[in-house]
Structure 1
Amino acid sequence: MDVTAVTSPTPAADRPGSLGAIASHAWGALSYAARTVGVPAGVRGLAVELAWTAVHLSVYPWGLIDEALRPGGVHAHHRTETLSPGERSLMVSDLDGSSTPVLLVHGIVDNRSIFHYLARALRRRGHGTVQAVNYSPMTAFTGDIRTAARDLGDHVERLCAASGADRVHVVGHSLGGLIARYYVQRLGGDARVDTLVTLGTPHRGSAIAHLLPPTLVPRQLQPGSDLLRELEEPAPGCRTRFLAVWSRMDQLIIPQRNARLEHPDLQVENVRRDHVGHMAMTIDPTVVHLVACRLARTTSPRDRVQTVAAAAG
């Protein structure tokens, strides 16, 4: 797992259609095939991706039903006798972290069922209010990321009003991460969002978008679009901290490095996974554990070992 804190501006991208860009895409395709089917870990990652996609499709209809908001969740009235030891320890050691609501935002033509495992893991970790929000599956064809971001802001306000919290955490998968980022950067959402986690989000667009219907959202997802250029504009004083998780095996973000978030005004931690598919990002044990640790503002044992080793070196 590669972890990088970002403090430098985004490098200029190759011009679309240039010989260098074509050669880069060709080399990227060969490299992707090699690391996916050329190593055992890649084959395992591909198998997990296919299996989870099949499971997700089977529960997709269930996810169309909006989730009822339960303010306080298992932590209503701050009673602990029904909690597991792990949940109780988080409440005692990090009451602020456990009481901050977590909002999960799905990706394109998807729904909240993609977060079944992640939501359960966060609740078991001690987060009292974890809610997955649905937006219209037609957003990909008839919608607008800017409008979806405003709708997300309205939902955040309702969540804060219902839970009594001043701030929330947001986890966005794929397009959901871009919607949440626009809300934070361009609509003043940094006043409400403490931490924004993006999983496989096309922060710099994806070449796959050129293959989608030529409606507004696919155009906004194309590299160099007006929306992505808007997100590159200065964002001084942004109060939200970001965690961007991306994978070198992501089959929907082309090139895969476009899922990195690089902006000089943002507090960003980029984490790379090598053998995790786009859909499996929400169930990968390492990613789930990382997200739980970052939302609780704790450090995972592996990170502590790496930090100690770096200090010793």
Structure 2
Amino acid sequence: MKVTRAALPFLPFCERLLPSRPAGLSLALLKATVLEIAILAGHLLLYPSGITQERRAPVPALPADGAAQLPTEAKPPVLLLHGFIDNRSVFVLLRRSLAQHGRQQIETLNYSPLTRDIRAAAELLGRRIEELCERTGAGQIDVVGHSLGGLIARYYVQRLGGDARVRTLVTLGTPHSGTRVMPVADAHPIVRQMRPGSPVLEELTLPAPDCRTHFVGFWSDLDHVMDPPETACIDHPDLTAQNVRVTGIGHLALPVHPAVANGIRQVLDTARPGEPSTEHTAGLTVA
């Protein structure tokens, strides 16, 4: 869809959501936009419930009677990391889906909307992961990050030695190559760090030899927060990465749509470091 320049900096974003010419408004885009509005309304209702940090979940105790149990394959804990100006309430549905399919240790991390530096947020994430590993006895965990959360987690893995702790990193609509959407938001320093060519993103292009984490990037062709949408693909010669194209939904739907949740579960249950990467044309149609 072609978007012409406008005098006001927010108009290109609005035109991408609601094109002025009816002929340009496809049925798929219309459905995705309606779904985005519905999800936003629901999330605004849930947002107050996720403002505070969640209580740390105790590690499940062994049976007191010492009864024998059938052997089960231990699954690593999962840490969920929200996006910009958001909180853990965005993961209510995804968390429920993971729990229903055998994940016993699922936790979230809230970082402040006043956070001004991806590097500082990555250090906070690292401390939380170390605490989680110590409390659960796990050597590694899986991380799912939405939007900015995925970028924070990637910085931790690549630049702060987090590949020793993160087995699989799943990113949902994360601006790995930077997004150009809404230039008016550049007043916030962390938004400037998400722009193409920012010093933080340049750091992520540096060599990352022997990185042990397996990366999976879910990206949507109707994600209007990612400009261009393909910026949510992971492209680095040293990383074991798989990119999954999602068709038919927008940015806000990525962490809540059941089809995406199913894809995340499959990734966490099967992806292992060292697997060959797949092209970003591999797809998941949810509409």
**Residues 1:111 and 2:96 are matched in the alignment:** no
Higher helix share: 1
CA distance in 2, matches of 1:220, 1:196: 20
CA offsets, 1:150-178, max 9 Å, x none? 01000000001111111000000000000
SS of the aligned residue for 1:42 comes to helix
2:62 aligned residue: 77
Q: Is the 8 A contact 2:16 2:224 kept in 1?
A: no
2:178 aligned residue (205, 210, 224)? 205
Deviation, structure 1 residue 266: 0.4
Give 1:1-313 correspondences, 5 Å limit.
38-72=25-59, 76-77=61-62, 92=72, 95-97=73-75, 100-139=76-115, 143-208=116-181, 210-297=183-270
SS of the aligned residue for 1:170 comes to strand
Q: Is the 8 A contact 2:158 2:211 kept in 1?
A: yes
SS of the aligned residue for 1:257 comes to helix
Letter in 2 for 1:165: A
CA offsets, 1:58-81, max 9 Å, x none? 110111021112144xx54389xx
Deviation, structure 1 residue 257: 0.8
CA distance in 1, matches of 2:26, 2:261: 24
- The CA RMSD measured in Å over matched residues stands at 2.8
Deviation, structure 1 residue 137: 1.3
- The runs of at least 4 consecutive aligned structure 1 residues that moved more than 4 Å come to 29-34
- Higher relative contact order (Cα pairs below 8 Å, separated by 6+ residues): 1
Unaligned runs of 5+ in 1: 1-25, 80-87, 299-306, 308-313
SS of the aligned residue for 2:227 comes to coil
CA distance in 2, matches of 1:48, 1:37: 18
Please report the TM-score for the alignment, with normalisation by the length of structure 2: 0.82
Q: 1:37 to 1:117 in 2, by over 3 A?
A: farther
Deviation, structure 1 residue 40: 2.9
Deviation, structure 1 residue 213: 3.9
Please report the TM-score for the alignment, with normalisation by the length of structure 1: 0.76
Q: 1:223 to 1:120 in 2, by over 3 A?
A: same
Deviation, structure 1 residue 96: 2.6
Unaligned runs of 5+ in 2: 1-11, 272-281, 283-287
- Identity among equivalent pairs (%): 44
CA distance in 1, matches of 2:79, 2:110: 11
CA distance in 2, matches of 1:278, 1:249: 8
Deviation, structure 1 residue 37: 6.6
CA distance in 2, matches of 1:230, 1:172: 19
Letter in 1 for 2:263: L
